[in-house]
Every structure is written in C-alpha cells, then in structure tokens.
Amino acid sequence: MTKAEIVAIIANKTGIEKGAVSSVIENFMETVKEVMATGENVYLRGFGSFIIKTRAEKTGRNISKNIAITIPAHKIPAFKPAKTFMNAVK
C-alpha cells in the first residue's frame, strides 16, 4: 500500500479532502523524523513506538579488496508495534 492509497482511504472515511489529509500525513512523518533525529522516541498508544536502536561496533569484510573493516557503533530507527496492533495482524 502506498501513501497515496492511505490518503484516499482516510479521505473517503472522514469526508476530508485529499489535500488536507495528505498535508497532515506529511507533517506527521516530518515531525516523527525531527523528533527521532534529536534522540527521542515516539510513542503512539495502541499503535506502536518509533524507537532508536543502537547497533554495536562490529567487524565486516570488504569483499572486493578482501580486507577486514570495522563498522562503528551507530543508531538506527525502528518500529515496535503495540500488542493490540500485533493481535490485529495475527
């Protein structure tokens, strides 16, 4: 499912025009990105959490040069669904 399809479904359910729905969704996604960039998690009760995970430093291999390289510790965004979300999908 694409963002445009989500916008169309929400617009049909609520009666709000697609442009307004699209603007709200864009602003929501931008806000989540901005908040997570500052190091904070985003919690949406009943839906899930957008969290920041820390990956440990590890050794990798550059196969084209056949040398070992060190991949530094870094942070990645992740989504952890709420229990009600998980049960609905099951």
pLDDT of residue 19: 96
Task: Name the β-bridge partners of 62.
Answer: 67
Quick: pLDDT tens for 9-61.
999 999 999 999 999 999 999 999 999 999 999 999 999 999 999 999 999 99
Please state the pTM of the whole predicted model: 0.79
Asked if 71 and 58 touch (Cβ cutoff 8 Å), the reply is yes
pLDDT band at 82 (very low <50, low <70, confident <90, very high): very high
CA 18-20-25 angle, 5° bins:
90
Do strands 67-71 and 58-62 pair parallel, antiparallel, or not at all (unpaired)? antiparallel
Write down the domain spans for the chain. 1-39, 41-90
How far apart are alpha carbons 4 and 43 in whole angstroms? 24
Region 41-90: CATH code: 4.10.520.10
Contact 57, 73 (CB under 8 A): yes
- C-alpha to C-alpha distance for 10 and 17, rounded to whole angstroms: 9
